[in-house]
Amino acid sequence: MSAQVLVFDILSVIAVLAALGVVLARNPVHSAVSLAFTFVNLAAIYVILRAEFLAVVQIIVYTGAILVLVLFVIMLVHQEDLPEFHGGQPLQRVFGFLVGLVLLGEVAAAILTRTAVGQVGPWSPQQVAAAGGNVQALGEVLYSGYVLPIQATAVVLLVATIGALVLARPDVVTVPIGMARQVLTISLGHPRGDGEEETFEVPMLPAGTTTKAEAGDRELVMAKTGDEFTDKPAWGEHRTR
Amino acid sequence: MYEHLISSYIVGFIVLNVLLGLMAYMTWFERKVLARLQDRLGPTRTGPFGLLQPLADGVKLLSKEDIIPANADRLIFLVAPVVSFVLAPLGAAVIPFGNTITLFGYKVNLFVTDINVAALYILALGSMGVYGIILGGYASGNRYSLLGALRSAAQVVSYEVVLGLSLIGVFILSGSLSLVDIVNEQSRTLSFGALQVPNWYILSQPLAFGLFLVAAVAETNRSPFDLPEAETELIGGFHTEYSGFRFSFFFLAEYINMIVVSLLASTLFLGGIDGPIAAGVWWLVVKALIFLFFYVWLRATLPRFRYDQLMGLAWKVLLPLVFLNIALTGLIRLFGIGAL
């Protein structure tokens, strides 16, 4: 058994165990860390397959950026608010197990009968070496034949970034747009208005509605001392209703 | 076939041990230099010139009680400092300490390995380094630690972008990602009339050099970008709850990161082993020492950045400058100015 096969065996066993850890861990942070472990092992397998650029990009992008983002989200969300990890009705569990078995069967069938083999691409290892290595070969292909898809990908990423910004801080985008509209709109009327525009009235509640405070959600405590306020808190875990 | 691997292992062993020794004495160096810059003496009692101070520190940290908070996520609490400490010296695996020499009839490479994506490998290690911080802060079960960890992670991730992009100018000029190739490129001599200068990239990429330095200081969480671990602001940030030798793992990992980054800056911008009379590892050491002194000098001189100023600097100032640098370098390479 050559050294390459041995190393591949070790790496794949560890990767599979880490993947199992992703699914079976109780704590979502443990899950994410197991996933990081899986990614690193996959990167090592890519190195064995002589795709070293893909390996480092896998670590930089997947492990170093995407999974860090996932970890941020997991850590900032309360444990109670996370979706159920190991719950679910018995029927769901059985169904899930069956679907998993079916998928496993398909993958095993594809591997064992060796019908799922990819086509050999146009680049042989000698051609790659002649181009100067993996990175140079990728560069040649990507930036000559696939320039437009790369630009499209960049635009897609830009749209995603702007979308995230708009969702998180809409005022950052809408306020300048509003201001620009005001500046750029050609108005032929008097700056102070023609006198025909509707005045804006503050919407008042219909008469007779009592707000929560008036209806007595909590008694109005004009506390003179701190102890008085502590005895009758308006919020918090010691609040007795 | 295996002698290649054996020479890699032996060189790697030597590099690792030298790095660990240098890390210990980096603490001494910092304390002495910081002290002199602050008009005092630094450690003088433990051994001559305080040279045994790192030993004393090590003994002290090892003998402290190991406290694990009750709220801590135990497994990750134990693993996080180890992750930081293990990832730190891996960057030194691709730095060329010399060319290939012949020793007792065997060809020995004076670097651990020469992969053709070496610079990307170092960036990948920087990306992985965030994990030690996040996991350490999360696992402590302490709100301040989590806050410090998330801030630090956001800072590291932002400055990583600047760090990576600032190196693209160097890659455009050298045409390769391998550090050995970059060092060989820099040992060429350019002549401008009667002036002969080596092709060091600090001369052809001054903007990238400045951006790289700033980003590197921020990546290693050093002053003036050390808000996430600032004692006065967040009690200690992500390493608040760590005591004894676990704390020293984080602390020493930071020093090893500093050393590796200094070696990297010397290799990428100052020509590495290249020097006037005889090219060799001593020049690399001198240049790395210059950068290490610069790190300590920054710590002694500048006040700390506030967190929003820090992030604003990265995204609003450094990133546009880095893109400007890439555009200029690309244009220069396209139209071929001089020997560049």
Question: What are the tens digits of pLDDT across the range B281-315?
Answer: 888 999 999 999 999 999 999 988 888 888 899 99
Please check whether residue B117 touches A, CB under 8 A: yes
Q: Cβ(B228)–Cβ(B221) under 8 Å?
A: yes
Q: With respect to residue B112, please indicate whether it lies within any of the assigned structural domains.
A: no
Q: Cβ(B129)–Cβ(A58) under 8 Å?
A: no
Q: With respect to residue B23, please indicate whether it lies within any of the assigned structural domains.
A: no
pLDDT at A177: 84
DSSP A213: H
Q: Which residues pair with B190 in a beta bridge?
A: B197
Domain that holds residue B182: 65-91+117-335
Q: Cβ(B249)–Cβ(B78) under 8 Å?
A: no
Residues from chain B that touch A52, judged by Cβ atoms under 8 A, are: 115-117
**Sequential pLDDT tens for chain A (241 residues):** 688 899 999 999 999 999 999 988 888 889 999 999 999 999 999 999 888 899 999 999 999 989 998 988 888 876 666 666 566 677 888 888 899 999 999 988 888 877 656 777 778 878 887 877 788 888 888 888 899 999 999 999 999 988 988 888 888 778 888 888 877 777 666 666 566 666 666 666 677 666 555 555 555 656 667 676 667 666 665 555 5
**Sequential pLDDT tens for chain B (340 residues):** 677 788 888 889 999 999 999 999 999 999 999 999 999 988 888 888 888 988 898 898 888 888 888 888 888 898 899 999 999 999 898 999 887 777 777 777 788 888 888 999 999 998 898 898 889 888 888 777 888 888 888 889 999 999 999 999 999 888 888 898 898 888 888 777 778 888 888 888 899 999 999 999 998 888 788 877 665 565 667 777 888 888 888 889 999 999 999 999 999 999 888 888 777 888 899 999 999 999 999 999 998 888 888 889 999 999 999 999 999 999 988 887 665 5
Nearest Cβ partner for B130 among A64, A75, A76: A64
Residues from chain A that touch B134, judged by Cβ atoms under 8 A, are: 68, 71-72, 75
How far does the CA of residue A62 sit from the closest CA of chain B (Å)? 10
Please check whether residue B146 touches A, CB under 8 A: yes
CATH class, domain A1-87, is: mainly alpha
Please check whether residue A18 touches B, CB under 8 A: no
Measured in degrees and rounded to the nearest 5, phi and psi for residue A194 equal -90, -5
**How far is residue B159 from each of residues A11, B231, B252, B285, B297, measured CA to CA in Å?**
32, 22, 21, 26, 21
Contact call for A64 and B120, based on CB within 8 A: no
Among A2, A7, A30, A33, which would you mutate to test the B interface (most chain B Cβ atoms within 10 Å of its Cβ)?
Answer: A33
Contact call for A53 and B115, based on CB within 8 A: no
Q: With respect to residue B222, please indicate whether it lies within any of the assigned structural domains.
A: yes
Q: Cβ(A52)–Cβ(B115) under 8 Å?
A: yes
State the complex-level ipTM: 0.86
What domain count does chain B have? Answer: 1
Query: How far is residue B162's CA from residue B315's CA, in Å, rounded to a whole number?
Result: 9
Q: With respect to residue B272, please indicate whether it lies within any of the assigned structural domains.
A: yes
pTM: 0.81
Domain coordinates of chain A in residue numbers? Answer: 1-87, 133-185
Among A42, A62, A71, which would you mutate to test the B interface (most chain B Cβ atoms within 10 Å of its Cβ)?
Answer: A71
How far does the CA of residue B73 sit from the closest CA of chain A (Å)? 10
Q: With respect to residue B340, please indicate whether it lies within any of the assigned structural domains.
A: no
Residues from chain B that touch A165, judged by Cβ atoms under 8 A, are: none
Q: Which amino acid is at A73?
A: V
Residues from chain A that touch B153, judged by Cβ atoms under 8 A, are: 68, 72
